[in-house]
Amino acid sequence: MTKTTLWKLRQEIVLNSLYAADFNNSFGYTAHSVQNFFDGYMSYLEELMNEDGVSDDDVFNVLSKYDTIDNLWLWWNMFDTNPLENEI
């Protein structure tokens, strides 16, 4: 996975959605594994915001400041193996 490809995947999904269909993608990954990965990414962003003192009320107002290609790449690199499963 490259940084650019990962960001393209991010652009195809609805971050923080409760609906599995919002994680369907053209990369051939299961919606379930993509949802799990991006739910973790959202938690990671919330941790970054907490460290910066962002209040819970402001999370969605400043999300775009934190939802970046660089932060997504940092999250991806926390995994030893590919967390995304291919469709069968």
pLDDT score at 57: 84
Place of tokens 């919330």: 46
**What is d(CA 48, CA 27) in angstroms, rounded to the nearest whole number?**
28
pTM: 0.94
The rounded radius of gyration (Å) of the Cα atoms in the chain is 13
CB of 87 closer than 8 Å to CB of 29: yes
**What confidence tens digit (pLDDT) does each residue in 1-53 have?**
999 999 999 999 999 999 999 999 999 999 999 999 999 999 999 999 999 99
Please tell me what DSSP assigns to residue 59.
Answer: H
